């Protein structure tokens, strides 16, 4: 998608280094960063220079290719794979991508290893781009249906950033929105700010602005009253891990939005590529929920009058804060799962029909 009119993907390999858009600087500064080693890749994932489930999967894949570029030592590659998987525990895409890379590299001669690793990492990214585009084509039908009934702007609420910046391109939740906009359907997006890191305000609103899609940032607690007022036609969110029973783990606050949607008969859709499905964990209580540094809550970042990024404390110094990054929305509150293969019920039967 576009930044200042120029097409980008979120990650690419060029001149023996991986290049990423440093998302910690957005929306104030657009910086491309070079990732030269697997350690750099782990650091970029941990510090959220790259984030969003599909993109951290793609970064982990390239990270492992960089490990191979550093040395062919199988012990180093194994250790790197483990560290990559541990760098952010909730999004399943990370483990999925690393497992896929290891499977591909197992039994390969050392002189071919790097080429195969780089090709597989690219393949993982290309596939994600295609899957996200298909999610858009499938999700478009839902937006079209609402528009055909309403004959007026379709108002869509989204949470966090499940946009192209969270994937390789297109996004998951935003992909149907981009397709609708391309088709000339008038859409307006309510963007949850998404405290504490403000991915909605900083990233979703930014990328929608770049594509000239009308959007309005709201505080995370505003969605409920807008639904009561009939100002939200549907919600679309992304997910970091969806269980085979249809339970959806996503950015903290998603669950409360789903409850409000349920109470107000607002359809609540979740968009995901199949790499986000966890077929193993059966009980949502077993999903590892990331707890991040409380500084993400107690401090906020913005630009000062000299356009410099500054971080300031907003709490009493002595106050304790707790920062769980994800929650789980039970399948019963999910209207449907928009995947690359079609829209499924949020249930084992629904997902199995499409994927197994």
Q: Which residues contribute to the site for ligand MRU (CB under 6 A)?
A: 51-54, 91, 160, 162, 166-167, 171-172, 199, 238-240, 250-251, 325
Q: Which residues contact 333 (CB under 8 A, 6 or more apart)?
A: 255, 258, 259, 261, 262, 268
The least distance separating ligand MRU from the CB of residue 298, rounded to whole angstroms, comes to: 18
Residue whose CB is less far from ligand MRU, 69 or 138: 138
Buried b / exposed e over 200-229, threshold 16 CB at 10 Å, is: bbbbbbbbbebbebebebbebebbbebbee
Nearer to ligand MRU among residue 108 and residue 300 (C-beta): 300
Please, what is the minimum distance in Å from the beta carbon of residue 230 to ligand MRU?
A: 25
Tell me how far, at minimum, the Cβ of 290 lies from ligand MRU, in Å. Answer: 8
Residue nearest to ligand MRU (CB): 238
Q: 118 or 132: whose CB is closer to ligand MRU?
A: 132
Instruction: Please identify which of the residues 233, 240, 247, 278 carries the catalytic annotation.
Output: 240
Nearer to ligand MRU, 198 or 298 (CB): 198
CA distances from 16 to 34, 37, 101, 138, 324 (A): 10, 10, 18, 36, 37
H or E stretch at 310: strand 309-313
Q: Under a CB-based contact definition with an 8 Å cutoff, are residues 176 and 142 in contact?
A: yes
Please state the three-class secondary structure of 209-265 as a single string. Answer: HHCCCCEEEECCCCHHHHHHCCCCCEEEECCCEEECCCCEEEECCHHHHHHHHHHCC
Q: Closest separation between CB of residue 310 and ligand MRU, Å?
A: 21
Kindly tell me which of 54 and 350 has the beta carbon lying closer to ligand MRU.
Answer: 54
3-state DSSP assignment of residue 109: coil
Closest separation in Å from C-beta 206 to ligand MRU: 13
Q: Do residues 23 and 66 touch, judged by C-beta distance below 8 A?
A: no
Let me know if 126 is a catalytic residue. Answer: no
Kind and range of the H or E run holding 17: strand 17-21
Any idea which residue has 């071919």 for tokens? 112
Q: What is the set of active-site residues?
A: 240
């Amino acid at each position: 998608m576009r930044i200042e009119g120029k097409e980008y993907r979120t990650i690419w390999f060029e001149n023996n280094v991986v290049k990423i858009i440093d998302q910690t600087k957005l929306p104030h500064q657009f910086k491309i960063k070079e990732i030269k080693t697997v350690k750099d890749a782990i650091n970029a994932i941990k510090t959220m220079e790259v984030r969003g489930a599909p993109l951290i999967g793609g970064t982990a894949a390239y990270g492992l290719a960089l490990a191979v570029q550093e040395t062919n030592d199988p012990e180093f590659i194994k250790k790197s794979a483990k560290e990559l998987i541990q760098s952010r525990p909730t999004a399943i895409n990370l483990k999925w991508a690393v497992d896929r890379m290891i499977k591909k590299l197992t039994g390969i001669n050392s002189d071919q290893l790097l080429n195969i690793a780089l090709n597989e990492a690219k393949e993982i990214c290309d596939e994600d781009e295609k899957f996200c585009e298909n999610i858009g084509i499938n999700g478009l039908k839902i937006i079209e249906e609402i528009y055909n009934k309403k004959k007026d702007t379709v108002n869509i609420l989204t949470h966090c950033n499940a946009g192209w910046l969270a994937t390789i391109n297109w996004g998951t939740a935003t992909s149907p929105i981009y397709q609708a906009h391309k088709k000339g359907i008038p859409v307006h997006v309510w963007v949850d700010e998404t405290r504490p890191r403000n991915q909605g305000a900083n990233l979703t609103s930014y990328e929608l602005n770049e594509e000239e899609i009308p959007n309005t940032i709201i505080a995370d607690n505003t969605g409920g009253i807008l639904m009561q007022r009939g100002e939200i036609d549907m919600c679309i969110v992304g997910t970091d891990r969806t269980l085979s029973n249809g339970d959806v783990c996503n950015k903290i606050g998603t669950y409360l939005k789903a409850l409000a949607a349920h109470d107000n008969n607002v359809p609540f859709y979740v968009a995901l590529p199949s790499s986000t499905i966890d077929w193993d964990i059966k009980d949502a209580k077993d999903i590892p929920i990331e707890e991040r540094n409380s500084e993400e809550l107690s401090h906020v970042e913005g630009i000062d009058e000299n356009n410099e990024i500054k971080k300031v404390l907003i709490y009493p110094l002595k106050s304790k804060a707790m920062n769980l990054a994800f929650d789980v929305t039970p399948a019963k509150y999910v209207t449907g799962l928009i995947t690359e293969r079609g829209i499924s019920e949020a249930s084992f039967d629904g997902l199995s029909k499409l994927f197994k």
